[in-house]
Amino acid sequence: MSDLAMSAGVIAVPGLGIGAPQPGEVVARRPRLRIAVRPSRRRVAGIAFASASVTLLALFAAAVFQTVLVQGQQRLDRLDRQVSQAQDRFDRLRADVAELESPERIVTVAHHRLGMVQPDTVTYLAPTLEQVVAVVSASGRSLPDEAEADAAIAIADEGPTWSQLKPFMGSAP
């Protein structure tokens, strides 16, 4: 094969009668080839080490995150149990208080433990105005002015209640 054929990129195939190009014939050209340079082993090892390190770091971070998440959930579960136990205890204590404050229990304790008996008749006592004045004077407080005294008389005529007499008696029993 001639140097001209080789420089043109034509390949002669023996036995086929193909050789140098004939005048006027178009020959397909081969693409220009270039040498591929292999990356060095150090560079490949560095990239592999870096990607493995990043992967391990990501896995470690995920494990730490999951651990923190599980610990937080365990704390929430423990607090939820404590709240539930406190609510149950509160409900039991509230039921105990309701039972202890029930009128039937109070009457039973008064009768059996304290020896109290039910009276035949119940008499309600209402202090008179003179009794109120005597208590106020004995306590060292000043007597009410005329408007307060008129209000006390009106209360006494209707039958006073403790809330109505309390302002006139102060802290006296």
Q: What is the pLDDT, as a whole number, of residue 165?
A: 64
**Domain stops at, among 76, 100, 118:** 118
Q: How far apart are CA 41 and CA 43, in angstroms?
A: 5
Question: Which of 6-15, 51-60, 72-81, 147-156 is the least confident region?
Answer: 6-15
CB neighbours of residue 32 within 10 Å: 6
For 12, the domain range is: 1-34
Q: What are phi and psi of 8, to 5 degrees?
A: -80, -10
Domain co-membership, 26 together with 2: yes
Pair 52, 77 in one domain: yes
**155 and 90 fall within a common domain:** no
pTM of the model: 0.40
How many structural domains does the chain have?
Answer: 3
Residue range 97-118, pLDDT digits in tens: 999 999 999 999 999 999 999 8
- Do both 74 and 98 map to the same domain? yes
Q: Do 85 and 107 reside in the same domain of the chain?
A: yes
What are 31-73's pLDDT values in tens digits?
888 887 777 888 888 999 999 999 999 999 999 999 999 999 9
Query: Are 70 and 18 found together in one domain?
Result: no
Out of 71, 88, 118, a domain closes at: 118
pLDDT, residue 94, reads: 96
Whether the pLDDT of residue 4 is over 60: the answer is no
Other C-beta atoms closer than 10 Å to the C-beta of 16 total: 7
